[in-house]
A = this chain, B = another copy of it.
Amino acid sequence: MSDDLYRALFNPKSVAVIGASRNPHKFGHIQLRNLLEWGFKGRVYAVNPKAKEILGVKCYSSILEIPDEVETAIISIPAPIVPQVMRECAKKGVKLAVVISSGFREAGEAGEKYEQEMLEAARASGLRIVGPNTTGILCASTRFTTTFLPVAHVKQGPVTFIAQTGVFAGVLLLHIITSEHFGLAKVIGLGNKCDVEDAELLEYLKDDPETGVIAIYMEGVRDGRRFLEALKRTTPKKPVIILKSGRTEWGAKIALSHTGSLAGRDEIFDAVCRQAGAIRVKDFEELLDYIKAFAMQPIPDGDKVIVVSYSGAGCVTAVDHIVEYGMTPATLSDEALEELRRLYPPWARPSRHHVDAEPIFESIGPETYSRVLDILARDGNVDAVVVDVIALTEEHSTSVFYVEKDRLVDAFLQARKLAPKKPLLAVVNGEKKMVGEYRDALEEAGIPVYPSLPRAVRAISALCRYSRFRRRLAGPTHP
């Protein structure tokens, strides 16, 4: 990827919103507002032949009238007039057009013609296109965005998304902004991918210091070989998690009408991911679960996982899943076992392979998590820990299971200090409101929280899989 394209995508000096609208319902209005209000430092121009001024920005009737260079154009006008506007953009020397409009290849023959014409208009001058049929771009560090979604509360962090769909990527963004605690580096909606594709972005993102984890939602790839090569160069440096839909024949047919994508044979795509060390997921829930783990936790050194639960049933459930996801229940050292034994009441015995904390709660109550985590953090036989927590209201502070939020968070932070390379994940259940509060407190402290043990164990399995992949790449270690 050229530096020019990179700058036009994430940090343009000047931007034109073509199709800027006075109507606050329209994308072309909200995009302009986002550019003006979120803190983007570049120059912003508006193009609308029927308006004089929108949101205090003077309107030009064509991009050609703007008395300045325009690096990036955001296009939200009906598909039939996009080719003509693209010719004007090319003439103006625009580097990148982000085409939000739909009605192109995904909409049948006429649309395919518009897409072709638009592409030809752009190619002549080296103008690059993101889209059409997308929400476009968001960059948290430069605050450049073409999205029509609310961005005020976007938090900067290590996660970069490449998504092949507009509205869905938008809602995912809305969910992340309002519900998740991990931060975003960049979001790129590629839509129909008539020009810029995943592979080209990967080549850049693999070296992007702001990006720590890459998540991709795609419906199809045009150049499979190029994608595989780009993946192979990226995964040794950072984890790539891929959700590809259009897995079934029915799904593939719909993908064709949605983004004009050819989904391809699913087994082949699976093989590509495996070969390249990318982590393929089946749905958005799994995608978000893994992103959270990679964004907040270290990559473990091995596969030995231990569960701490307030209930025996939790232990059985978690251990079943640890085994089914291809990992091994940890086997505690003699020292750790002896230390645990001292926390148990006389009528109960610790196990070497899981920690049923119920009896410990009956003995030492609120100190349970800190004492147990301390032991597990120091035991070299443990690579990763999942802790199952009950959240109770103060009204039930008399319960032996009641542990104050701050004390719980401290227990994790102490363990994090002792064992910086061990993933620590939490599961929180119980009283609805308190579940939310405990989750927020833990995630703000960097501990990812899952709604169930199986999902936490699955997330650890993704960390372990990536760890195995990287160890395999590194080859055998010679002492």
A residues neighboring B (CB under 8 Å) = 24-25, 30, 78-79, 102-103, 106-108, 111, 150, 164-169, 171-172, 174-175, 178-179, 217, 219, 245-251, 254-255, 257-259, 282-285, 310-317, 319-324, 329, 347-349, 351, 353-354, 356, 358, 390, 392, 395-396, 398-401, 429-433, 435, 451-455
Contact = CB atoms under 8 A, between A and B. Distances in A.
A320 B398 contact: no
Given A179-B432, A323-B250, A454-B285, A25 B315 contact: no
Nearest to A457: B283
Contacts of A259: 312
Contacts of A320: 245-248, 250-251
Contacts of A108: 349
Given A248-B319, A454-B285, A168 B324 contact: no
A404 to B, nearest CB: 15
Nearest to A310: B167
A234 to B, nearest CB: 23
A267 B283 CA distance: 27
Give the top 10 A-B pairs by smallest Cβ distance, nearest first: A258-B312, A251-B320, A168-B313, A178-B432, A165-B313, A168-B311, A248-B323, A167-B311, A283-B454, A179-B432
Given A150-B395, A313-B258, A347 B107 contact: yes
Given A171-B311, A282-B454, A317-B283, A258 B356 contact: yes
A219 B320 CA distance: 11
A390 B171 contact: yes
Contacts of A111: 347
In the complex, the count of this chain's copies comes to 2
B248 A353 contact: no
A429 B25 contact: no
A25 B399 contact: yes
Given A103-B347, A107-B348, 16 more contacts: A24-B398, A30-B399, A103-B348, A107-B349, A150-B395, A168-B314, A171-B390, A174-B392, A217-B313, A248-B319, A251-B319, A251-B323, A282-B454, A283-B317, A284-B317, A285-B454
A258 B107 CA distance: 59
6 contacts: A167-B313, A175-B432, A217-B313, A258-B313, A258-B316, A285-B455
A329 B250 contact: yes
Nearest to A103: B347
B316 A245 contact: yes
Given A312-B168, A313-B168, A398-B24, A319 B250 contact: yes
Contacts of A323: 248-251
A367 B216 CA distance: 33
A25 B79 CA distance: 68
Given A107-B348, A166-B311, A358-B167, A430 B317 contact: no
A319 B251 CA distance: 5
B219 A313 contact: yes
A316 B255 contact: yes
Contacts of A314: 168
Contacts of A400: 25
Contact of A317 (B245, B249, B312, B395): B245
Contacts of A452: 283-285
Contacts of A430: 171, 174-175, 178
Contacts of A431: 174, 178
A254 B315 contact: yes
A227 B219 CA distance: 46
Nearest to A152: B395
Contacts of A317: 245, 251, 283-284
Given A347-B103, A353-B254, A358-B167, A247 B324 contact: yes
Contacts of A312: 106, 165, 167-168, 254-255, 257-259
A316 B432 contact: no
